[in-house]
């Protein structure tokens, strides 16, 4: 099954939202050191997943030049 370009866009947007959410959680003054460490690790894991999705998105985007490049999406 081939994923559509729209599916990649939604997945990238969703993962980016989770990254932002967990970045904020690492700044919570009420969080324990262990929680902050877990949030930070999750941000790293999500960032890696976002980059992998970005690679797949770029391959899927080749026939659709009207869609923005991954680099433009990853900064939003």
Within 13 Å of residue 26, how many CA atoms lie on the same side as its CB? 14
pLDDT tens by residue, 7-47: 999 999 999 999 999 999 999 999 999 999 999 999 999 99
Which band of pLDDT confidence, cut at 50, 70 and 90, is reported for residue 1? Answer: confident
Gap between the Cα atoms of 67 and 22, Å rounded: 28
Within 13 Å of residue 2, how many CA atoms lie on the same side as its CB? 5
Within 13 Å of residue 29, how many CA atoms lie on the same side as its CB? 0
Query: What pTM was estimated for this model as a whole?
Result: 0.88
Gap between the Cα atoms of 47 and 34, Å rounded: 20
Six-digit token string for 2: 């081939």
pLDDT tens by residue, 40-63: 999 999 999 999 999 999 999 999
């Amino acid at each position: 099954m081939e994923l559509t370009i729209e599916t990649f866009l939604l997945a990238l947007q969703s993962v980016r939202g989770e990254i932002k959410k967990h970045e904020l959680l690492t700044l919570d003054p009420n969080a324990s050191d262990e929680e902050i460490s877990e949030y930070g690790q999750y941000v790293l894991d999500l960032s890696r997943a976002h980059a992998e999705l970005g690679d797949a998105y770029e391959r899927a985007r080749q026939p659709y030049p009207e869609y923005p490049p991954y680099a433009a999406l990853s900064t939003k």
